[in-house]
Amino acid sequence: MSVRVRFAPSPTGKLHVGSARTALFNWFFAKHHHGTFILRIEDTDQKRSNPAFLDDIYASLKFLDIRADEGPYFQSQRLSIYQEHVKKLLALGTAVEQDGAVMFNVPPGQVTFQDLLRGPITVDTTLFETLVLMKSDGQPTYNFACVVDDALMTISHVIRGDDHIANTPKQVVLYQALGFPLPIFAHIPLIVGADRARLSKRFGATSVDEYRQVGYLPEAFVNYLALLGWAPGGNRELVSPQEIIELFDLARVRKAAAQFDQRKLDWLNGQYLKRTPVPILADLLAERLIAKGLLTSSYDRPRFERIAALLQGRLRVLEDIEEEHLFFFQDPPVYQDEAVNQFLTPEGVAPRLLALKERLSRLSTFETSVLEETTRAMIAEQQLQSKELIHPVRVAVTGRAVSPPLFEVMSILGKDAVLQRLEYAATTLAKGMNRSTR
């Protein structure tokens, strides 16, 4: 059998994480079997459809590196096809017109379909509500258009969320009425939040775009979504898209709902960031900062690569660079009020900062090792505890109580910036005057 699958989103909202996972499972299945992946846009709801949401679907699929082999097809452009098949059912007497709509007379009895994950499922058709084929506004209903499109596009496997299980028996009777062969159905588990309910904004972001904007790497995001309901075997967690394609098998898809774990996604993304070559990571970070006006396009490339290398093991997402490390790009930095109060205002801090500034000003090189040696020599001479000088210096030069390794940070910032910040911290912040807050 030639494998042909489809992903059929509606442009009525941003692409949901659950829909993205469905798209990926279809993509993996098609590529594993050297089959065809079709993109179909279900846009018959003209009131709710929005071109901006269509653009979001395209951007999200590009982010996931999913490329359609066929399509996109638009249901809004296939109205004559649906009308043609409605006429067949009207002629057969299995459909009737009623108040401008076309209704399907469901024959009483039982309908059974085979689900790849759950086995045979049997439903009593007397439990169905009335099946509408065409609404009074002339637009086809979801179930009818879906059956016609899947049949005419010779879809071999319908892989979709298990929230569609209730639709499938209704579609089966329409397949039978139209004389179409049934595809193979596979209903994959939904993604749920920490409350075990369907993933919603209550537990964070729900659209692919939100994750793309804050700086999750595509490979990490795809890897994580693949693990929601599927396992590669061997307790593996880092699996490349190509490996997933090679290993993907619907038999390994679990029936139980998959819980979205933000901490697991963050950890996985951090692992991918650590494996990203520094020049590429620098490009990704610089692109974000330039777009936000925090870095000029003529930035110092060697210096920026030092920053990328220093932050590589500390980043959760790319956004962390503008959330936690802007002191590299803002002068003066934004000082955290709590850090200033705790580390700069105690008695004796200001003279120490000025004394260190004087020592550093005499240095002919600002290398990391020299900075550390000079600072620790002063600590020893004045019989201080390390934290009595290092913590205030950290706040003085970064504005924060926590930062990457201090002496490497100081070396990257450079002599002029460090001396200016030590002076400002000692003469202004340590005295509690004109303090900016965050």
Q: Output the pLDDT for position 203.
A: 52
Structure tokens at 252: 């390994």
Are 308 and 270 spatial neighbours (Cβ–Cβ below 8 Å)? no
DSSP at 230: B
Per-residue confidence at 21, pLDDT binned at 50, 70, 90? very high
Residues 377 and 416 in one domain: yes
Which run of H or of E encompasses 39? Answer: strand 36-41
Burial of 162-186, coded b for 16+ CB within 10 Å and e otherwise, reads bebbeebbbbbbbbebbebebbbbb
Statement to judge: residues 302 and 366 lie in one domain: no
Domain-embedded: residue 386? yes
- Amino acid letter, 296: T
Considering 328, 360, 386, which residue would you say is the last residue of a domain?
328
Q: Kindly state whether residue 317 falls inside one of the protein's structural domains.
A: yes
pLDDT in the model for residue 433: 43
DSSP string, 73-123: EEGGG-HHHHHHHHHHHHHHTSEEEETTEEEE-PPSSEEEEEETTTEEEEE
Confidence of residue 130 (pLDDT cuts 50, 70, 90): confident
Cα Rg for the chain, rounded, in angstroms?
30
Give the mean pLDDT of 66-78.
97
What is the 8-class DSSP label of residue 427?
I
Give the separation between CA 96 and CA 74, rounded to whole angstroms.
27
**pLDDT above 90: residue 127:** no
Q: What is the pLDDT of residue 253?
A: 93
177-231 pLDDT per residue, tens: 999 999 999 999 999 887 777 776 555 568 999 999 999 999 999 999 999 999 9
Q: What is the mean pLDDT of residues 315-334?
A: 95
DSSP state of 187: E
Q: What is the mean pLDDT of residues 310-319?
A: 97
Q: What is the DSSP letter of 363?
A: -
The mean per-residue pLDDT over the stretch 69-93 comes to 97
- Residue 43 pLDDT > 60: yes
Residue 435's pLDDT band (boundaries 50, 70, 90)? Answer: very low
Domain assignment of residue 103, yes or no? no
Same structural domain for residues 308 and 358? Answer: no
DSSP structure string for 120-155: EEEEEGGGPPPEEEE-TTSPBPHHHHHHHHHHHTT-
- Does some domain include residue 140? no
Average pLDDT over all residues of the chain: 94
Domain that holds residue 301: 278-328
Residues 345 and 387 in one domain: yes
Q: Quick check: is 431 catalytic? A: no
How far apart CA 425 and CA 343 sit, in angstroms, is 10
Give residue 63's pLDDT: 98
Domain C-terminal end among 328, 356, 389: 328
Q: Which ranges in 192-332 belong to alpha helices (H)?
A: 208-214, 218-226, 241-247, 262-274, 278-291, 301-311, 320-324
Last residue of a domain, one of 264, 299, 328: 328
Beta strand 101-104 pairing with 131-134: antiparallel
At residue 311, does pLDDT exceed 90? yes
Question: Is the same domain home to 345 and 408?
Answer: yes
pTM, two decimals, is 0.91
- Say yes or no: 300 and 283 in one domain: yes
| Residue-wise pLDDT tens digits, 222-273 | 999 999 999 998 888 999 999 999 999 998 899 899 999 999 999 999 999 9
Cis peptide leading into 72, omega within 30 of 0? yes
Same-domain check for residues 317 and 350: no
290 and 358 in one domain? Answer: no
User: Quick one: 425 and 341 in the same domain?
Assistant: yes
**Residue 413 domain flag:** yes
C-beta contacts of 349-352 below 8 A and 24+ residues apart = 349/392, 349/426, 349/430, 350/425, 350/426, 350/427, 350/430, 350/431, 351/426, 352/378, 352/382, 352/384, 352/388, 352/389, 352/392
Q: Which of 88, 201, 292, 431 does the annotation list as catalytic?
A: 201
The stretch 369-393 carries a mean pLDDT of 97
Residue 33 inside a domain? The answer is no
Which among 106, 113, 158 has a CA at the least distance from the CA of 133? 106
Say how many domains are in the chain.
2
Span 306-321, average pLDDT = 97
Are residues 353 and 402 located together in one domain of the fold? yes
CA atoms within 13 A on the CB side of 210: 11
Crossing angle (nearest 10°) for helices 368-381 and 406-413: 120
Give residue 432's pLDDT. Answer: 59
Beta bridge partners, 131, equal 104
Residue 391 lies in a domain: yes
Helix (H/G/I), strand (E/B), else coil: 342: helix
> Are 360 and 398 part of one and the same domain?
yes
Residue 202: the pLDDT is 53
User: pLDDT per residue over 326-369, tens digit each?
Assistant: 999 999 999 999 999 999 999 999 999 999 999 999 999 999 99
Sheet order of strands, 101-104 included: 95-98, 101-104, 131-134
Q: 341: domain CATH number?
A: 1.10.10.350
Q: Does residue 388 sit within a domain?
A: yes
Using pLDDT thresholds of 50, 70 and 90, give the confidence band for residue 437: very low
Q: Do 353 and 425 have their domain in common?
A: yes
